[in-house]
Amino acid sequence: MQPTLLILAAGMGSRYGGVKQLDQFGPHGETIIDYSLFDAIRAGFGKVVFIIREELRSDFEEVFGAKLAGKIEVDYAIQALDSYVPAEVGEVQRTKPWGTGHAMLCAKNHTDTPFAVINADDFYGLEAFQLIGDFLRTDTDDNLHAMVGYEVKNTLSENGSVSRGVCAVDAYGHLTSVIERTKIYEQEGATEGNRIVFEESDGVTPLEPDTPVSMNFWGFKPSVFPLLEHQFESYAIANINSPKAEFYIPTVMTTLIQTETGRCKVFRSKSAWFGVTYPEDKPTVQAAFRQLHDSGAYPDKLW
């Protein structure tokens, strides 16, 4: 059995100011997705499903179709605003997708194997794909899922705040909670140096630098889909009048844990994550890829 890779690529890129999923970062014009695909193929994944908006399909087919032919099976799942929305919601009053949990649900009919889920605009590295790939191939517990957790200090941007799923893990390496914090940044201190905090309406809260956070690298068994669909139906009905509400994968996992319908093994990574949130992040990411090529981690040309 070869696991499937779902790539979340339907986002609007509002802070980046463009379709960052297809922007070029590598020395030969590679996208960040190219590196994820290259690593996934090396780690034994047999299929990729791009979860996209309909208007992006032709662009994705043009960029990835030919280069992936014969290397990995390719499929496309469309995240539409009305996908899986219950009738009670009526005509959907939204202009942006419902979020990452809804995107994953939109791939329900595109995979029947254990699968990983990643962001299109994050670089995770080969180790993460190997860890999740091995887990998905060998673990036989339908209710045990997985994630790769990165230390928060390795996931920040120098150009603004970031959103991260802040995790708590028990003594057995299982996730006990993951809470989406939408404004994490390094705060300058007057006497004690900088500290990492997350900010909410009631103030700021410090985070230890090695706090594990989710970068949306998840591993799921197909048994999650019926539970996911039920969760989203309830969420959509509850948020009929909230056009900016987003149904996150961390919300899905938290519900599974709280209802004892699923558990999540956490693989800890000390690797330096990098990705793009702001336009100013691009030069840093380009330099990081150049260094990876120069070090021999990747060949001069991926394809």
Q: What is the DSSP string of 198-225?
A: EEETTEEEEE-TT-EEEEEEEEE-TTHH
Alpha-carbon Rg for the chain, nearest whole angstrom, is: 19
CA angle 259, 206, 11 (to 5 degrees): 60
Model's pTM, two decimal places? 0.90
What's residue 192's pLDDT? 64
Q: Are 11 and 97 in contact (CB under 8 A)?
A: yes
Burial tier of 245 (Cβ tally within 10 Å: 0-12, 13-18, 19+): middle
pLDDT < 50 regions, the chain: 14, 17
> Which DSSP letter does residue 179 get?
E
What's residue 158's pLDDT? 83
Tokens 């900016």 locate to: 244
How many residues does the structure list for the chain?
A: 303
Q: pLDDT digit string (tens) for 13-65?
A: 545 545 678 899 999 999 999 999 999 999 999 999 999 999 999 999 999 99
